[in-house]
């Protein structure tokens, strides 16, 4: 059956999170007068942030705790003084202002919106994603936005798909597909929810899951060929 609903991940799929993260972190360092140490401190933050998000996906920590925990780990590892809650507040504000799409993403979404109902499903933070996505050029093309931090359910929990389907008043699953870059978040969520999956894999990584996605692509343009 042809698809009707596309559930699409946000960061590292449509949005250039790496660039947005770098911009926000530079502004944080400027406010705490550490900007000259960016080249040393940024890799430390990135590593601690990713490890904290992995712990969140595994259910080790809550998303609410994640907001400050990643900065506490950063402060401890970098051995600098500061308040994790304050750092988190400053960084979140600047990250919310950084709405940067990958090149060509708008054109692809614009074409897909003529054929499909589009829903963004993201594990991001409400204070960040609501503004970043809301002020982006693709916002008018998206029917609904589902943010894990807002509803208390995160990928790969299949209940986030249940919520998204209820939100758009759609009951069938055989005409739904989830698209994203993360095997453990997006693709595993699709498996858990019993819907088709499209793995966006630009770095040509190996599949570490126990089954294959319905489709695998290395360029977002390929969506226009398979959908």
Domain boundaries, the chain: 5-16+101-226, 17-96
16: which 2 tokens?
A: 């250039």
**Mean pLDDT (whole number) for 164-182:** 97
Select 17-96's CATH number: 1.10.150.240, 3.40.1280.10, 3.90.1200.10, 1.20.140.10: 1.10.150.240
How does DSSP classify residue 160?
H
pTM of the model: 0.90
Question: What confidence tier does 183 reach under pLDDT thresholds 50, 70, 90?
Answer: very high
pLDDT at residue 58 tops 90:
no
pLDDT of residue 136: 95
Residue 112's closest CA among 121, 122, 120, 123?
120
> How much of the chain, in percent, has pLDDT values that exceed 90?
93
pLDDT at residue 155 tops 70:
yes
pLDDT digits (tens, 9 = 90+) for 156-170: 999 999 999 999 999
pLDDT at residue 108 tops 90:
yes
pLDDT of residue 68: 94
pLDDT of residue 63: 84
pLDDT at residue 95 tops 70:
yes
> 1 versus 23: which is more confidently predicted?
23
Question: What confidence tier does 124 reach under pLDDT thresholds 50, 70, 90?
Answer: confident
pLDDT of residue 59: 86
Question: What confidence tier does 1 reach under pLDDT thresholds 50, 70, 90?
Answer: low
Question: What's the CATH code, domain 5-16+101-226?
Answer: 3.40.50.1000
pLDDT at residue 29 tops 90:
yes
Task: Give the residue carrying structure tokens 């960016």.
Answer: 38
**Mean pLDDT (whole number) for 102-118:** 97
Show Cβ contacts of residue 183 under 8 Å, excluding neighbours closer than 6 positions. 199, 205, 207, 208, 209
pLDDT of residue 224: 96
pLDDT of residue 218: 97
How does DSSP classify residue 71?
H
Let me know: does 122 contact 136? Beta carbons within 8 Å: no
């Amino acid at each position: 059956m042809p698809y009707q609903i596309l559930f699409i991940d946000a960061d590292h799929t449509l949005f250039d999170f790496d660039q947005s993260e770098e911009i926000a972190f530079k502004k944080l360092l400027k406010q705490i007068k550490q900007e000259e140490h960016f080249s040393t401190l940024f890799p430390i933050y990135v590593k601690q942030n990713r490890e904290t998000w992995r712990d969140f996906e595994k259910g080790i920590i809550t998303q609410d705790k994640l907001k400050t925990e990643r900065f506490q780990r950063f402060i401890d590892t970098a051995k600098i003084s500061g308040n994790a809650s304050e750092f988190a507040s400053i960084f979140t504000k600047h990250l919310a202002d950084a709405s940067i799409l990958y090149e060509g993403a708008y054109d692809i979404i614009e074409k897909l919106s003529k054929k499909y109902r589009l829903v963004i499903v993201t594990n991001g933070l409400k204070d960040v994603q609501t503004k970043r996505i809301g002020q982006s050029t693709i916002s008018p093309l998206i029917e609904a936005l589902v943010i894990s931090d807002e509803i208390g359910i995160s990928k790969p929990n299949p209940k986030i798909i249940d919520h998204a389907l209820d939100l758009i008043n759609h009951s069938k699953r055989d005409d739904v597909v989830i698209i994203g870059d993360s095997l453990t978040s997006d693709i595993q969520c699709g498996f858990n929810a019993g819907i088709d999956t499209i793995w966006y894999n630009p770095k040509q990584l190996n599949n570490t899951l126990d089954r294959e996605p319905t489709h695998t692509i290395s360029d977002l343009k390929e969506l226009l060929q398979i959908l």
